[in-house]
Structure 1
């Protein structure tokens, strides 16, 4: 009987190991995104809506709920939280807290941002949610409220669970939400070291203080997830958010992230050079002049689209429509005709125009030059330029969006009434 148990355990171990090896292929894990934190324009995108395991970047949401509670006055930084036996027995990485001891809210925050302590994550979960399971439900509810459509949390630390998933896009949304709603606490993500009970812990984020402008956010790793990293960096008055999921090693992930950060700021610089005149012309709220540019190979940056489109917000009509086919010139709305698709929103009118031209130039879509339109919209004192293709039937618009979606490119259906 014992022999049979040993054999069964051996084959079970082989099966589990095989599953881990299958999961460990980098091609199945990798995803990345760079976002302009001010305009929400996506500057780089790879597999951004594919499900991935967040690992310890999960703790960004755990902390988001902590900051929510601090703002509501439900807890304070000096409050003590009790450590349960369940929390003390959480697998590493951990602080090694003893059951029955306490830890302050402030030290717990630093334990997550610097040490990425799993036991402290459970302490927080039990203190705010009663149980880890209930807190995980709170995390998922908050994720949905923030527009993180494809994220589901099953625990507060990110240890393996097949149903604990997110996407690169969703993690960028979470990072943006921290800036938008909890900027006063952002400095905790930039703490380089943490001293607790005679020991000093160093932040796992090796890019802090090493790469220009990098000032915060979180690393993560499990065998199933690969090496994850969410970063924010600021240079020359511009801030970007960058996410890399599924890196093969910590070193290669960090090098790739450093390259992406440089690329993101370069795209912003290039877009700013092309938007200078347009921004000035539109400062008086008059429609800008869109010049006719010669068709040329589309550079990578025009493939950018906005993070905002992924939030599921209702589309609002634009006051001004510019381009060959004005919305005002369309016949009365028909539920099956005069639909449009939106393929992106850009920081410059030229980039939006080039995005339209790049799609129109693809023969499989059979589009006309006069179907491209640009819709400027004001956002926090700046302008975004929505690139749209109009004069489509509902069925044709739907099929184009399906084709673009299969290529993981942005596409949003716009009804005749919009």
Structure 2
């Protein structure tokens, strides 16, 4: 799902609808949304549109926001069936030795993937992060290599990880923009907010020593619609937060790095959230799996295939703006060669406001199309010859 557009062959480009919209309202920069942050960014999740940024590509220590990538790899492994939520994980001595925020694992203690994921998402447990990393990849070092591979796959050029936890390490850095992109990818797995939205829970609940989890992200309790994602703090990184909130089918991601206090960090995120929800709204331009065009197939069991949207195509506009005035561009391959695989990219749609790109999304096929048999190809050639 959500494949990226592969290199296109000969294209057919169709432009539908023309027009332009009113410019964006008073800028977030003018409102000084994050005066006490080193770096910040505000993004609408579905479209990836940036509403506000401040030094968003400055490389900084992300502290425990690192665990966004840790959780992303865990959710991807669950989605692929490589690990299950009810699967047991036994903590190693190394995992149990982690300092900083923790759920106080004992060496040899067993918890499920789900329990450890709660420990990461709610309490930012360093020991839980390492235990999961070792379970999935054999060692934290091997898991970190996977984290950095995934960073490259996401096209993030200003992030490099040295551990799964965000504990201070030379050469461990990210940016507000990259953290927002990682959060965007993590939120593709909607189940993650079942964990990150919990304000409190328990581990070891049926034992003599239950452990109370309290979310390090207090906004999930005190801000309407907030349901994640991850805080961070070290003396070097100061107070950091990658947060998300959803209202009326619009989800936004706010990142603050280098705030002087947790109070200032939370206040600046709230300002960004308020700015987004008070001034903007989302519009669905295409539904998921909506047919957008047709492409001819060379030597396939079928001669044409529908090009459909891989997911909903969403844009965010100032409240009161008319989405009907946006420009839609559909770009399709002129022909494709069989065999074709379900989910294969065969084009893209682009939504523009004037010359400004608001959204791009791949167009895919929904079924496998094998090569045609020699007999089918022979019959087609005879039919072509027989046509007047």
On the 8 A contact 2:56/2:177 being kept in 1, the answer is yes
Partner of 1:254: 266
1: CA distance, partners of 2:118 / 2:263: 24
1: CA distance, partners of 2:258 / 2:325: 43
What is the 5 A alignment of 1:13-412?
A: 30-180=38-188, 182-197=189-204, 198-268=210-280, 271-273=317-319, 275-276=321-322, 279-282=323-326, 348-349=353-354, 374=355, 379=360
Structure 1, unpaired ranges of 5+: 1-25, 287-315, 320-344, 350-373, 382-418
1: CA distance, partners of 2:356 / 2:263: 43
3-state SS of paired residue (1:209)? helix
Question: Aligned-pair distance for 1:184?
Answer: 3.0
More helix by share: 1
Alignment TM-score, normalising by the size of structure 1: 0.61
- Say if 1:253 and 1:378 are closer, same or farther in 2 by CA, change over 3 A: closer
On the 8 A contact 1:56/1:220 being kept in 2, the answer is yes
1: CA distance, partners of 2:97 / 2:240: 25
3-state SS of paired residue (1:221)? strand
Superposed CA RMSD: 2.8
Question: Aligned-pair distance for 1:275?
Answer: 2.9
Question: Aligned-pair distance for 1:124?
Answer: 1.0
On the 8 A contact 2:64/2:166 being kept in 1, the answer is yes
3-state SS of paired residue (2:57)? coil
Higher relative contact order (CA 8 A, sep 6+): 2
On the 8 A contact 2:47/2:358 being kept in 1, the answer is no
- Residue by residue over 1:189-228, the C-alpha shift from the partner in whole angstroms, topping out at 9 and shown as x without a partner, is 1121120121211101111121122111011100111111
On the 8 A contact 1:89/1:119 being kept in 2, the answer is yes
Question: Aligned-pair distance for 1:283?
Answer: 7.7
On the 8 A contact 2:134/2:140 being kept in 1, the answer is yes
1: CA distance, partners of 2:349 / 2:124: 45
- Say if 1:79 and 1:284 are closer, same or farther in 2 by CA, change over 3 A: closer
1: CA distance, partners of 2:348 / 2:197: 40
- Say if 1:75 and 1:164 are closer, same or farther in 2 by CA, change over 3 A: same
More strand by share: 2
Structure 2, unpaired ranges of 5+: 1-33, 205-209, 282-315, 331-346, 363-388
- Say if 1:284 and 1:257 are closer, same or farther in 2 by CA, change over 3 A: closer
Aligned residue pairs: how many?
274
